[in-house]
Structure 1
Amino acid sequence: MAITFVDEIVADIEWRVSELATLKSLPIRYSFRDDHKELQIKYTIPAIYAIWEGFVKNCFSIYSNHLNSLAISRTDIALSLLTHQLDSECDFNNPRINFDAKKRLVNVIDSLLTNTINIKPSIPTESNVNFKVLNKILERFCIDKVDETYEQKLNKLLLFRNKIAHGENSISVNMNNITELFRLLKI
């Protein structure tokens, strides 16, 4: 029996749930000194975020590969997917000032607009997958946006991760924060 892209995503979810469950149990399972326990809890936040961002990137890579297996024709592809593909290859955010750069861009676009469109599995995470970025990615892939009830918690995960990962000491993290973020990811 062939493995479907849904099977691949489910396997990825199962692996990530296992990783998160291990992270969640460490401060409870082992008798760390209090200062070591606090440190482990604090640095669990960047690990949670890494697992989250990795999930987003991997799922859309798997999904891109699935879309490519369908050999979608240029006339049948959704405009959002075509735009994603062209942006992935051409970097539309790059201002092309000189004429030679513009010609190179047109040449790349011309070469990409073949009969069958192949979606590049690059995901524009903008260096941080918060609520807004996640919904931008979903829009590119013609998938419904995430409900606004997740906005505050996804943004909180990113805020905590960034402050901790960049060496700030302004945020106090406790097991309640960890539990809240695990609930966000349904663990």
Structure 2
Amino acid sequence: MATFIDEILADIDWRVSELATLKSIPIRYSFRPEHKELQIKYTIPAIYAIWEGFVKSCFVIYSNHLNSLSISRFEIAIPLLTHQLDSECDFNNPRTGFESKQRMVSLIDTLLTDIVTIKPSVPTESNVNFKVLNKILERFCIDKVPDHYDTKLNKLLLFRNKVAHGDNSISVNMTHVTEFISTVENLMLDVAINIEHNEKNGSYKK
């Protein structure tokens, strides 16, 4: 029977295959130089899409696994419980009226059942950069990824945002494609390793 980590690794395998295909296209096919340049440029948003898709998929799988454990409200880790309540109640929403505050309290009351069910979603905040990734990991009581990913991941986000928003001020070549693919592949594996390690240590409990 496949475990949750097997599901995450299978997802990574598929994404690595997609990344390999993206990397091989400019080499495998005979494009006119300007067409090759265009293809390489728009590979960057595709690399980022694969990365963000992994983060979402990974934590859906992990949330489903945690839900299968039937964790009680009295043993669940506070960051994880806070994540669940925030996902349902949207704590960033300023509730100035007393009626809206009552509705939130009523919702919290219904959510605080004996067994906590984690909503399978994560706040990606439009861009899963280094800071956002570590905030997501913190919500799920998972060790943060090493600091050396800060510059690497944020560089991918810089290139992706400029290309995706039609900014033609940045030049993209195959060296960048190779660099970003390597960053994403290594990050996916490190996130998976941290999740497996923390789950085995029961970090989801107080």
Which residue number in structure 2 is paired with residue 87 of structure 1?
86
Query: How much has 1:42 moved relative to structure 2?
Result: 0.2
Which residue number in structure 2 is paired with residue 16 of structure 1?
15
- Number of residue pairs the alignment of both structures matches: 186
Which residue number in structure 1 is paired with residue 184 of structure 2?
185
Which residue number in structure 1 is paired with residue 170 of structure 2?
171
In structure 2, what is the Cα distance between the partners aligned to 1:22 and 1:138? 29
In structure 2, what is the Cα distance between the partners aligned to 1:14 and 1:182? 13
SS in 2 for 1:110: helix
Which residue number in structure 1 is paired with residue 98 of structure 2?
99
TM-score by length of structure 2 reads: 0.89
In structure 1, what is the Cα distance between the partners aligned to 2:32 and 2:169? 22
In structure 1, what is the Cα distance between the partners aligned to 2:25 and 2:44? 13
Query: How much has 1:170 moved relative to structure 2?
Result: 1.0
In structure 2, what is the Cα distance between the partners aligned to 1:135 and 1:173? 27
- Counterparts of 1:12-51 in structure 2, within 5 Å, are 12-51=11-50
Q: 1:147-186: per-residue Cα shift (whole Å, max 9, x none)?
A: 0000001001111111111111111100111111112123
In structure 2, what is the Cα distance between the partners aligned to 1:7 and 1:177? 30
Which residue number in structure 2 is paired with residue 74 of structure 1?
73
Query: How much has 1:143 moved relative to structure 2?
Result: 0.4
Query: How much has 1:94 moved relative to structure 2?
Result: 0.1
TM-score by length of structure 1 reads: 0.98
Which runs of structure 1 show a deviation greater than 3 angstroms over 4 or more consecutive aligned residues?
Answer: none
SS in 1 for 2:2: coil
Q: 1:58-91: per-residue Cα shift (whole Å, max 9, x none)?
A: 0000000000000000000000000000000000
Identity level (%) = 75
* Structure 2 unaligned regions, length at least 5: 187-206
Q: CA RMSD in A?
A: 0.8
Give the residue type in structure 1 aligned to 2:45: P
